[in-house]
């Protein structure tokens, strides 16, 4: 009598089935990985493209050299060119009486020795309502580490700014705060509260009347202009 039980599969058939199973499992793992990557990419994008460009922030430097931010809506404008702060100095070792000319129209300061130009730098003078006076002046005071007694910030007891970029004559001091004057390195007073000093140059008249220069140029001018140096401010 013949045995009715089925014969076990041949060894090569078992190997073929095992190989197919391995390939199938790998395909499933690969598919899951691709789907996970796609979902992560969508999650990182957040809002739709339209909403991402409808609101944006702009960083800018305030007049007292702090970085501030403002939020805008609409289309992002093209970035403005960075104001040039290049300056020149060739006065080392040159003799002659010093003098300085400030040109409000071209927003430049020129340093002379014995009538010869030895230095030139961009400036930022008084904005509308705070015009830099024109005329013939002299350096009447010098202070390398001058601090303004008119403009600065109101700060709390920990030194945290409560109200920034204020004028003591026009802005009321909040309760519990004190005034901290804005630094004006390499200050040279020429008339009243007006003087030349290192400061931020946005590329146009923006000060409260003083004449701001790049720090390197302000240092050179300060070192080479003794008390009594003539300063002519012209249009």
**Measured between alpha carbons, how far is 179 from 173 in angstroms, rounded to an integer?**
8
Structure tokens at 201: 């140059």
Strand partners, 224: none
Q: What is the pLDDT of residue 165?
A: 87
Sign of CA dihedral 182, 184, 187, 189: negative
pTM, to two decimals: 0.64
Residue 185, in any domain of the structure = yes
In a domain, 171, yes or no: yes
Sign of the CA dihedral with 197 first, then 199, 201, and 207 last: negative
Q: Are 92 and 188 contacting, i.e. CB atoms less than 8 angstroms apart?
A: no
Does 42 fall in a domain?
Answer: no
CA 91 from chain center: how many Å?
A: 30
Helix (H), strand (E) at residue 49: helix 49-54
- Whole-angstrom distance, CA of residue 116 vs CA of residue 114: 5
Tell me the pLDDT tens digit for each residue of 185-206: 999 999 999 999 999 999 999 9
Residue 190 domain-assigned (yes or no): yes
- Is the distance from CB of 209 to CB of 104 less than 8 angstroms? no
- Pick from 171, 180, 126, 189: which is nearest to 153 by CA? 180
Residue 10 covered by a domain: no
pLDDT at residue 38 in the model: 53
Query: Facing residues of 207 across strands?
Result: 126
* Distance in angstroms (rounded) separating the CA atoms of residues 111 and 220: 10
Q: How far apart are CA 141 and CA 155, in angstroms?
A: 28
Kindly report the CATH number assigned to the domain that includes residue 193. Answer: 2.40.440.10
Is 37 within a domain?
no
Structural domain includes residue 210: yes
Handedness of CA 25, 26, 28, 32 (dihedral sign): positive
Burial grade of 118 (CB within 10 A; 0-12, 13-18, 19 or more): buried
Q: Which pLDDT score, from 0 to 100, does residue 66 have? A: 52
Residue ranges of the chain whose pLDDT lies below 70 = 1-84
Nearest to 102 by CA among 223, 209, 234: 234
Note down the domain range covering 150: 88-234
Inside any domain, residue 166: yes
| Count: domains in the chain | 1
């Amino acid at each position: 009598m013949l045995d009715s039980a089925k014969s076990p599969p041949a060894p090569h058939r078992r190997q073929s089935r095992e190989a197919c199973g391995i390939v199938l499992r790998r395909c499933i793992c690969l598919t899951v990985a691709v789907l996970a990557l796609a979902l992560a990419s969508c999650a990182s994008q957040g809002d739709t493209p339209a909403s991402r460009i409808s609101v944006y922030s702009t960083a800018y430097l305030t007049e007292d050299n702090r970085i501030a931010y403002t939020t805008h809506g609409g289309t992002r404008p093209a970035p403005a060119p960075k104001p040039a702060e290049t300056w020149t100095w060739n006065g080392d070792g040159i003799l002659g009486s010093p003098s300085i000319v400030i040109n409000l129209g071209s927003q430049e300061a020129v340093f002379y020795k014995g009538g010869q130009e030895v230095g030139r730098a961009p400036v930022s003078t008084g904005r509308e309502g705070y015009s830099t006076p024109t005329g013939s002046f002299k350096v009447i005071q010098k202070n390398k580490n001058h601090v303004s007694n008119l403009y600065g910030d109101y700060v709390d007891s920990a030194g945290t700014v409560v109200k920034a970029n204020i004028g003591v004559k026009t802005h009321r001091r909040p309760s519990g705060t004190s005034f901290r004057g804005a630094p004006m390195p390499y200050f040279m007073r020429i008339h009243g509260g007006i003087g030349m000093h290192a400061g931020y140059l946005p590329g146009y008249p923006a000060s409260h009347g003083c004449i701001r220069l790049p720090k390197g140029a302000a240092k050179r001018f300060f070192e080479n202009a003794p008390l009594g140096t003539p300063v002519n401010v012209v249009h």
